[in-house]
Amino acid sequence: MSSQPPHPTLLIPGPIEFDDAVLQSMSHYSESHVGAGFVATFGETLSMLRELFQSQTTNPTSQPFVISGSGTLGWDLVAANLVEPGENALVLSTGYFGDGFADCLRAYGACVTKLDGPVGGRPQLLDVEKALKDKKYKILTVTHVDTSTGVLSELEELTAAVKRVSPDTLVIVDGVCSVACEEIAFDKWGLDGVVTASQKAIGCPAGLSISIFSSRAMEALEKRKTEPATYFASMKRWLPIMKSYEAKKPSYFATPSPQLIHALNTALKQILARPLSERFERHMEVSDRVKKAVTDLGLKIVATEAKDQSHAMTAIYLPENITIPDLLPKLLSKGVVFAGGLHKEISTKYFRFGHMGVTVVDPKRKDIDNALEALRSALSECGYVKA
Amino acid sequence: MSSQPPHPTLLIPGPIEFDDAVLQSMSHYSESHVGAGFVATFGETLSMLRELFQSQTTNPTSQPFVISGSGTLGWDLVAANLVEPGENALVLSTGYFGDGFADCLRAYGACVTKLDGPVGGRPQLLDVEKALKDKKYKILTVTHVDTSTGVLSELEELTAAVKRVSPDTLVIVDGVCSVACEEIAFDKWGLDGVVTASQKAIGCPAGLSISIFSSRAMEALEKRKTEPATYFASMKRWLPIMKSYEAKKPSYFATPSPQLIHALNTALKQILARPLSERFERHMEVSDRVKKAVTDLGLKIVATEAKDQSHAMTAIYLPENITIPDLLPKLLSKGVVFAGGLHKEISTKYFRFGHMGVTVVDPKRKDIDNALEALRSALSECGYVKA
């Protein structure tokens, strides 16, 4: 029995449904942010993040960060610390969030070149290689899964290409909608940074910016010619704090949120209790099932090709003559919350179904079956008949 | 009966002890950040903040912001948005946090002049006036209560002086350790900004940067010659989001934390259920009682003069030959958590006792009596005898 009151099942691409134990950790009694109990919890949480990112090589070692903020703060960490004003950044965009990362980099003075995929697709590897040969880029950023389109980028192949063509370029991943549901082998693939948030597949309420950076990225920060023009997003200011917490020593820069860190600790323990490979496979299975059901209904998926489709979510075109204000309230009346569109070119023409976390991995939950059934009846009530 | 398990009473100057209902709101089931239910909760929360800051004048109207982050993020909001690189900022410092605000302003390129109070005191008004006459300052910042020293600044008198001597200078208050326990009459005094955090006298777990800015401050932002070099801390990006939520309309820039906003909503409802004046008086009474008990014990308070002593906390010099590692573990064994020192010149020589929020206003709690008794016995166990 869940300890949560009955409520519509939240199947947007984040925030997701949360496990009871995670939500209970949110109401942990108040603790000092520098007391031994909380320091141990935060330290353990940082160490677990290394495991989640498959980044446990000790020499050179990567550096995890957990900072109070939205996932968006991760972009600021990258833009303020790893690129100096006037340096070049190559942004691969597969939707709203790729465009946002580019805006953020520009705000800090980076010279941004953006390669856009077509709606539902991603920039081609040959074009990326060509761009990398044309100009020297300090960093390349890629959205692993763009929450606005459900387009998946192929990180391993991409990173290998960058290392081949422009080995000095740092590869930075926006993993907000992919960490803990799509495979990310940080060390093996040679990534330089992944920024994410708590409220998607990690399964902890929103409010934490979570990231990991390679020793190469940390060296690039060390070697800057100019000081980063930020304070709260300064990785140099947070670095000793993260190192201290992980060494189980108190330290202070800005007060962390003990309750959110407790919830993240609980969520990570649940994730790491089973092999990560099993978790990724389960998300693939469920995603395949959703995509087949949607296609069987005669609907079209925004991410055009199967290899470009994320396993975290599915963005689905509305049938003709059915609108978001028609469909979403009918779904809500059946206890299911989906999201509307977000990509500027097609925003009113599609909806989004998130399938991450407990909804996917907890065998007691029937969220996916219920959602697919609700979708079938809601469409039918809207007068939809498969062509 | 509290629903919280037995735990040491947290009497550091933040985070503080939290009310059961507030902690229960932290485990609210997951909701969409753009769904009608949460939008209404967030909107109501913003409106309640106007009441908390005594800023309900509708024309011109001030603007509240609630953003995921530590209290420190409030400094970045000010430094990134209200001062352009090369503009002058006058920082009044009464301890660690005044110095931190200055560092943050410098990180964004402001030309900072810092007026330091002596340890335990504050800069004198005549010196502030002299500085304002010497040079044109875009903003003046003041820490209402510096958490490192417990020194209280006199906001009303100070603001009146600034308006007399340099009426164009924006008056910005760091209210992290004062909002909801020391009076702040935002409109009446003519303040231009107050930045604070959730985890102190407001009584909501850490993780929210809470602020309010005058229409004059918002106009200064509008009239900037350069774009603010930040993304997550950009007030221009957050402004339409805050306006939308308060108008009960969905909008999106970066995902807020529904659980923290629910907890803040609960905390503000509790605060506003009684007249604010009563809340401020109660904090004064309890603070006076603590300060008398401490003085009766023969101990010396860091804030030298009574008029400079905050009602949120008391920073207390250790007796000679008694150290923090002697005293704090003894207090902990009696179920009381105090904080060590933080001010660089005296950090090992004093400790801090926070008396804010439910600890002070909930008549069922005996936190203060217990803490004073624990302090007496712990000192006695350390061999302390009043001189």
> Which of B236, B255, B351 is the best residue to mutate to test the A interface, defined by the most A CB atoms within 10 Å of its own CB?
B255
Percent of chain B with pLDDT over 90: 97
Task: Report CB contact under 8 Å: B30, A10.
Answer: yes
Residue B3: per-residue pLDDT = 85
Q: Using alpha carbons, list the distances in angstroms from residue A10 to A5, A32, A331, A359, A364.
A: 13, 33, 11, 9, 16
Omega prior to B60 cis, within 30 of 0: yes
Instruction: Give the β-pairing of B350-354 and B313-317.
Output: antiparallel
In our burial notation (b when 16+ CB lie closer than 10 A, e otherwise), range B209-247 reads: bbbbbbebbbebbeeeeeebbbbbbbbebbbebbebbbe
Beta-carbon neighbour count of residue B288 at 10 Å?
Answer: 13
Interface test with B, best of A234, A259, A313 (most B CBs within 10 A): A259
Dig out the tokens for A289 from the structure: 């099932």
Q: Among residues B50, B65, B45, B59, which one has the least CA distance to residue B248? A: B45
Provide the token pair at A247: 């060494």
Predicted confidence at residue B1, as pLDDT, reads: 57
DSSP string, B298-312: T--BSS-SGGGB-SS
Question: A348: domain CATH number?
Answer: 3.90.1150.10
β-pairing, B145-146 vs B151-152, is antiparallel
Question: What is the spatial distance between Cα A231 and Cα A113, in angstroms, rounded to a whole number?
Answer: 26
pLDDT at A1: 57
Indicate whether A333 and A322 sit together in one domain: yes
Which of A10, A12, A29 would best serve as a mutation to test chain B binding (most B beta carbons within 10 A)?
A29
Task: Give pLDDT, residue A301.
Answer: 98
Tens digit of each residue's pLDDT (9 = 90 or more) over B108-127: 999 999 999 999 999 999 99
Torsion angle defined by CA atoms of residues A129, A131, A136 and A140, in that order, rounded to the nearest 10 degrees: -70
- Name chain B contacts of A257, Cβ cutoff 8 Å: 70, 199, 205-207, 260
Residues of B in contact with A17 (CB under 8 A): 30
Closest by CA position to A93, among listed A134, A140, A138, A143? A143
Instruction: Tell which of B213, B245, B272 closes a domain.
Output: B272
Residue A253's identity, in one-letter code, is: F
Task: Give the closest-approach CA distance of A164 to chain B in angstroms.
Answer: 32
Q: Which residues of A touch B19 (CB under 8 A)?
A: none
Of B205, B234, B253, which has the smallest distance from its Cβ to A259's Cβ?
Answer: B205
Q: Which residues of B are annotated as a binding site for substrate?
A: 352
**How far is Cα B335 from Cα B339, in angstroms, rounded to an integer?**
13
Q: For residues B21 and A372, what is the distance between their CA atoms, to the nearest angstrom?
A: 36
DSSP A115-173: EEPPTTS---HHHHHHHHHHS--SEEEEESEETTTTEEP-HHHHHHHHHHH-TTSEEEE
Do B268 and B280 fall into the same domain? no
Mutate: best of A11, A30, A242, partner B, most B CBs <10 A: A30
Structure tokens at A257: 């949120």
Mean pLDDT, to the nearest integer, of B84-104? 98
Q: What is the CATH number of the domain that holds B168?
A: 3.40.640.10
Closest chain A residue to the Cα of B7, Cα to Cα: A29
Q: CA nearest A80: which of A37, A136, A162, A139?
A: A139
CB contact under 8 A, B70 and A232: yes
Partnered with residue B266 across adjacent β-strands are: none
Domain limits at A360?
A: 9-16+275-382
CA distance B28 to A6: 11
CA closest to A3 among chain B residues: B29
Helix, strand, coil: what percent of chain B each, to 5? 40, 15, 45
Helices A276-296 + A367-381 axis angle, to 10: 20
Helices (H), chain A: 20-26, 36-52, 73-81, 96-107, 125-134, 155-165, 186-189, 215-222, 235-246, 258-272, 276-296, 324-333, 358-361, 367-381
Would A2 be classed as within a structural domain? Answer: no
- State residue A63's pLDDT score: 98
Q: Look at residue B272 in the predicted model and tell me its pLDDT.
A: 98
The two tokens of residue B147 are 């958490």
Q: Chain A contacts of B29, Cβ < 8 Å?
A: 4-5, 7, 18, 23
Asked whether residue B189 falls in the same domain as residue B45, the answer is yes
Helix, coil or strand: residue B69: coil
pLDDT tens per residue, range B27-66: 999 999 999 999 999 999 999 999 999 999 888 899 999 9
**CA gyration radius, chain B:** 21
User: What torsion do the CA atoms of A33, A36, A42, A48 make, to the nearest 10 degrees?
Assistant: 180
Say if residue B349's pLDDT is above 70.
yes
Same domain, A144 and A254: yes
Q: What angle do CA A81, B198, A195 make, to 5 degrees?
A: 30
For residues B280 and B268, membership in a common domain is answered with no
Q: At what angle do helices B125-134 and B155-165 cross, to 10 degrees?
A: 30
Tokens for A349, please give them: 């023409």
Of the candidates B259, B238, B226, B202, which has an alpha carbon nearest to the alpha carbon of residue B63? B238
- Global model pTM greater than 0.95: yes
pLDDT of residue B297: 97
Contact B255 A10 (CB under 8 A): no
Q: What are B85's two structure tokens?
A: 């690189």
- Residue-wise pLDDT tens digits, A95-147: 999 999 999 999 999 999 999 999 999 999 999 999 999 999 999 999 999 99
End-to-end CA distance of chain A: 41
Residue of chain A with shortest Cα separation from B18? A30
**Over residues B220-227, mean pLDDT:** 97
pLDDT, residue B170, reads 98
The Cα of B11 is separated from the nearest Cα of chain A by a number of Å equal to: 9
Amino acid at A266: T
Q: Given the structure tokens 């023409």, which residue do they identify?
A: A349
Burial label for B182, CB within 10 Å (0-12, 13-18, 19+), is buried
Tokens found for residue A107: 């705000």
Cβ count near A59 (within 10 Å): 5
Phi, psi of B243 (to 5 degrees): -65, -40
Instruction: Out of A208, A240, A272, pick the residue that ends a domain.
Output: A272
Q: How many Å apart are CA B316 and CA A179, to the nearest integer?
A: 47
**How many domains, in total, are found in chain A?**
2
**Amino acid making up residue B284:** M
Q: Do A75 and B230 touch (CB under 8 A)?
A: no
Q: Do B71 and A229 touch (CB under 8 A)?
A: no
Regions of chain A with pLDDT less than 70: 1
Question: B205 vs A230: CB contact, 8 Å cut-off?
Answer: no
> Which among B170, B150, B154 has a CA at the least distance from the CA of B162?
B170
| Inter-chain touch A10–B27, beta carbons under 8 Å | no
Q: Decide if A254 and B73 are in contact by the 8 Å CB cutoff.
A: yes
ipTM of the complex: 0.98
Tell whether B109 and B243 lie within a shared domain.
yes
* A279/A255 same-domain check: no
- Same domain? For A261 and A347 the reply is no
Q: What six digits make up the tokens of A207?
A: 């409010």
Residue contact A27–B24, C-beta within 8 A:
yes
Rg of chain A, C-alpha, whole Å: 21
**B22 vs B24: CA distance, rounded Å:** 5
**B94 within a domain of the structure (yes/no):** yes
Of chain B, the end-to-end C-alpha distance in Å amounts to 41
The answer to whether the CB atoms of B232 and A103 lie below 8 A apart is no
Residues in chain B, overall count = 387
Residue A285 lies in a domain: yes
Give a yes or no: residue B1 inside a domain.
Answer: no
Bridge partners (DSSP) listed for residue A112 = A89
Please, which residues bridge with residue B91 across strands?
B114, B141
Provide the token pair at B225: 């010659």
Task: Tell me, yes or no, whether A63 and A96 share the same domain.
Answer: yes
Q: Which of A115, A18, A5 is nearest to A356 (CA)?
A: A18
- Report CB contact under 8 Å: A70, B71: no
Q: Are residues A41 and A126 in the same domain?
A: yes
Q: Which amino acid is at A70?
A: S
Share of chain B above pLDDT 70, in %: 100
Interatomic CA distance for residues B89 and B267, integer angstroms: 34
A3 is a domain residue: no
DSSP B347: G
Rounded Cα–Cα distance for residues A231 and B107 (Å)? 6
Distance from CA of A57 to the nearest CA of B (A): 30
Q: Would you say residue B282 has pLDDT above 90?
A: yes
Q: Which of A220, A244, A272 is the last residue of a domain?
A: A272
Question: How many residue contacts between A and B have a Cβ separation below 8 Å?
Answer: 199
Indicate whether A335 belongs to any domain: yes
B213 and B291 both lie in a single domain:
no
Q: How far apart are CA B194 and CA B295, in angstroms?
A: 32
Q: How far apart are CA B22 and CA B263, in angstroms?
A: 5
Half-sphere exposure of B295 (CA within 13 A, CB side): 12
Does A5 contact B339 at a Cβ distance shorter than 8 Å?
no
- The helix or strand, by DSSP H or E, that contains position B329, with its residue range, turns out to be helix B324-333
Going by C-alpha positions, the residue among B281, B341, B332, B10 that lies closest to residue B150 is B341
DSSP state of B26: H
Residue B211 located in a structural domain:
yes
**Tokens at B163, concatenated:** 């308006």
One domain, residues B258 and B128:
yes
As a whole number of angstroms, the distance between CA B28 and CA B31 comes to: 8
CA distance A176 to A145: 8
Rounded Cα distance between B95 and A48, Å, is: 36
Distance from CA of B187 to the nearest CA of A (A): 28
Token couple for B84: 């352009």
Residue B211 Cα, gap to closest chain A Cα (Å): 15
A148 within some domain = yes
Closest CA to B110 of B87, B132, B92: B87
